[in-house]
């Protein structure tokens, strides 16, 4: 999960957690890079990031370096897993959290880590009320993984 202040890697096998590691790198670093590069306050940078209201050079000047760093953090976390356990591979990576839906991130991680990677949608297969703005829900779906899991927990007991 790529959270605001940290990225966490959990490796599961048959529903059991084999490995869990947090690294201090998350979406807040992207916000800080935006603020620093364009002279925005952190609040302005966050608002502009969420609204996709950023300068034309944002993809090359800010987003690409951020995605490179995030990809390296994920690859590094996998290397720690490989060294700390007898397991030499993982089958796939499921990305969650706000920054996980960045365009091209899953493909970049797949190429760097040599592991299939996809962005998780916890609402897949769920009925959604007609009053819900479906496009917005889909774009924010990876952010709601923990919420959905906690909400579903009571039905699985």
Q: Cα–chain-centroid distance for residue 19?
A: 18
* pTM, rounded to two decimals: 0.86
DSSP per-residue letters across 45-85: HHHHHHHT---TTHIIIIIHHHHHHHHHHHHHHHHHHHHHS
What's residue 155's pLDDT? 81
What's residue 47's pLDDT? 95
Query: Residue 1 in contact with residue 145, Cβ under 8 Å?
Result: yes
SS3 state of residue 9: strand
16-32 average pLDDT score? 93
Question: Could you give the domains of the chain?
Answer: 7-90 (3.30.420.40)
Please state the φ and ψ torsions of residue 22, each to the nearest 5 degrees. Answer: -110, 140
SS3 state of residue 40: coil
- Residue range 61-115, pLDDT digits in tens: 999 999 999 999 999 999 999 999 999 999 999 999 989 989 999 999 999 999 9
What's residue 137's pLDDT? 86
């Amino acid at each position: 999960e790529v959270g605001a202040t940290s990225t966490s890697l959990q490796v599961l096998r048959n529903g059991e957690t084999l490995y869990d590691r947090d690294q201090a790198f998350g979406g807040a670093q992207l916000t800080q890079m935006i603020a620093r590069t364009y002279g925005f306050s952190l609040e302005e940078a966050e608002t502009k990031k969420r609204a996709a209201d950023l300068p034309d050079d944002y993809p090359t000047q800010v987003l690409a370096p951020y995605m490179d760093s995030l990809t390296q953090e994920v690859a590094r976390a996998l290397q720690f897993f490989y060294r700390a356990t007898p397991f030499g591979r993982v089958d796939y990576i499921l990305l969650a959290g706000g920054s996980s839906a960045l365009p091209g991130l899953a493909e970049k991680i797949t190429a760097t880590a040599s592991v299939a990677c996809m962005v998780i949608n916890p609402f897949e297969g769920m009925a959604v009320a007609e009053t819900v703005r479906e496009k917005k829900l889909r774009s924010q779906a990876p952010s709601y993984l923990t919420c959905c899991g906690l909400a579903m927990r009571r039905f699985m007991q």
